[in-house]
Amino acid sequence: MTGTMEAEKAEAAAWFRTLRDRIVAAFEALEDAHGGGDAAGRFEVTPTTREGGGGGLMSVMRGGRVFEKVGVNVSTVHGSLGERAQKAMTARGVPGMAADPRFHASGISLVAHMANPHAPAVHMNTRMFWTPGAWWFGGGADLNPAIEYALDTAHFHDTLRLACDAHAPDYYGRFRAWADEYFFIPHRGRARGVGGIFYDDLNTGDWQADFAFTRAVGEAFLPAFLPLADRRAEIPWDAADREAQLIHRGLYAEYNLVYDRGTKFGLETGHHPEAVLMSLPPLAKWV
């Protein structure tokens, strides 16, 4: 596909916003189902801007009965990459990036830290990236429980597998392995959770097919995660459970601040810092 792809950019950005709206509504409904419904069980929505061009919406819920903190952000940004980001993209082999730093990026990013230590934290994002020399999609979802349940892990992976298998027989195996590698914390010698799928630089040459797969990943998120959040929301827990949760959150914070590609890109390209760092937990602990 050639040209500036203005229609495709608009189509992708509109879908990311639609997915955001569906997830926000589903999470508020889950709060209501567990006795919420007050201000703590509602998202605070803040428009964001990027100095170089574009912006988005930062939607954060704090202090809910189900979600201690959850952010669901969408953004569409454009302009020219800074020197560090341009060098990083060039090193990744992005076509034309060394000669032309223009870019367009659109996507959704979600991180949920749960009130009940038995409920797993979760991350999901999908995105489209364009440069004058290339376009691609990326994203995925991964589960990060402090207290692991094999039933939850199996359900999460099975749902993502179905989404992948509908598009290519090798996607789930490839992207699960990629997630295991990507979400590994080298200085701790361990994964940050029980995995999921991760993919980047997806360009098969068929924009509609790659966009359809990216939509499938986003659409699989609620059926993969909501049942887990629902059934763990009211399990009794004690101080030891909370301790395990806070220590596990420390791992999550370490990963996102040291290794996460999206965090680095957002900060280096001048996006709203609170939106970029909304993935950090409200409380964490190190021992």
Q: Which residues are catalytic?
A: 123
Crossing angle of helices 6-33 and 207-232, in 10° steps, is: 10
Provide CB contacts within 8 A for 114, sequence distance 6+. Answer: 66, 67, 68, 120, 121, 229, 232, 233
Q: In what order do the strands lie in the sheet with 67-80?
A: 44-49, 54-62, 67-80, 102-114, 121-131, 134-144, 195-202
Residue 211 tokens read as 């966009």
| Nearest C-alpha neighbor of 161 from the set 145, 141, 190 | 141
Rounded CA gap, 107 and 18, in Å? 11
Token pair 């189902």: residue? 33
